[in-house]
Amino acid sequence: MKITRISVYQVDLPLEKPYWLSGGRLKFEKLDSTIVSIETDEGITGWGEGCPWGVTYLPAFAGGIRAGIVELAPAMLGHDPRHIDQINHIMDIALPGHLYVKSALDMACWDILGKSANLPLYALLGGRYSSHVTLQNSVSTGTPEEMVAIVQAGRAKGYTIHTAKIGADVSLDIERIHALLADLKTGESITFDVNRAWLPDQAIMVMNTINDARPYFEEPCETLEESRTVRRLTRQPIILDECIQSFGDLLLAQREQVAQGIGLKVGRVGGLTKAKRMRDFCIATGIRMNIEETGASQIGDTATIHLAIATPETHRHASWDCSALHSVITADGGYIREGGKATLPDSPGLGIEARMEVLGEPVAVYS
Ligand code: MG
């Protein structure tokens, strides 16, 4: 089997409500998604998606994906897309680094592998460990009352794992945390995601003021080194997210014992192939994971739910599905959100059918 054509589509994903992160420091209203199809000489087509969370969240932007594909696509033509490690090797030689640029292409190759083997992706990624994946109720930064209201609305829909965005204003953060912990019910879990907004002194102050070891604190500071300082002087479990961009970052975080959990964002780390390697390392070393996308429509979210369901429940926390924040449907099929849970069909590959009327004409074609 050989890759004969790679087509690139651009789709805007406007969020239904503006989303605030990092204590209001970062605002997001629309995402820019890149969807790719890879066609083969055997008539099988695979689909993939890469969608950074705006331009301010990470050193990644949508235009960077499409610019990177200009370099990657010609190198992939003529190769067998089912030989996925080899395809990743080819991409890493053609364009070293730039991990997020490669995820959509890698995902489309996995889709082809699944379709050619007549197996759902999760079967190729480790097998189905559970009937569903637990989803996160994502709580945008606001006043303590507004944030409690979002948690309660999520609870009413069936969510049990909440992620509340805080950061920037230390005294208001303490109020937010107290209000949300007072509202937390038995059997629920809450993470306070700071998205890098605190300096270590602020993290230490807030986390030690909160005399409660139940919550996770996520990405308290800008760097791994700063988070290491926080780890030494606090007691709540820490999840690292933005600063885990590669296997090397994960290795360092594990060796330095900084994090008890990570956000394994498939797009950020370079695709399903590289995410799977990191997932396996986390299983081997006892690190819990939120397996999810950086941003996505139905296509990218479905890929991450496949990886999550193929991961032992003992090592999973919850997955965030970006599609819940917008109403653009780029594909039929794929994962189904019901309350706070995601389920998957058993159809081969990703199990999606792209909606060509939503994708429109390709912005680039390589053949
Ligand atoms: Mg996070």
Q: Give catalytic status of residue 165 as yes or no.
A: yes
Active-site residue identified among 30, 102, 115, 265: 265
Give one word for 118, left, alpha or beta, with left for phi > 0 and alpha for psi -120 to 50.
Answer: left
Residue 265: per-residue pLDDT: 98
193 CA to middle of ligand 1, Å?
A: 6
Q: Extract the residue ranges of the chain whose pLDDT is less than 50.
A: none
Model confidence, pTM = 0.96
| CATH 3.20.20.120 residue window(s) in the chain | 123-353
Q: End-to-end CA distance of the chain: give it in Å, rounded.
A: 15
- Exposure string of 245-272, with b = 16+ CB inside 10 Å and e = fewer, is bebebbebbbeeebbebbbbbbbbbbbb
What superfamily in CATH does domain 3-118+356-366 come from? Enolase-like, N-terminal domain (3.30.390.10)
Residue 56: per-residue pLDDT: 85
Q: Please provide the CATH number assigned to the domain covering 123-353.
A: 3.20.20.120
Residue 93: per-residue pLDDT: 98
pLDDT in tens, 148-183: 999 999 999 999 999 999 997 899 999 999 999 999
228 CA to middle of ligand 1, Å?
A: 17
State how far the Cα of 69 lies from the Cα of 104, in Å rounded to an integer.
9
Residue 18: per-residue pLDDT: 80
366 CA to middle of ligand 1, Å?
A: 35
239 CA to middle of ligand 1, Å?
A: 8
Residue 27: per-residue pLDDT: 79
| CATH 3.30.390.10 residue window(s) in the chain | 3-118+356-366
Residue 188: per-residue pLDDT: 97
Residue 23: per-residue pLDDT: 64
- Calculate the average pLDDT of the chain: 96
Residue 26: per-residue pLDDT: 74
pLDDT in tens, 75-130: 999 999 999 999 999 999 999 999 999 999 999 999 999 999 999 999 999 999 99
Instruction: From residue 52, give the alpha-carbon distance in Å to each of 57, 100, 152, 261.
Output: 8, 8, 29, 22
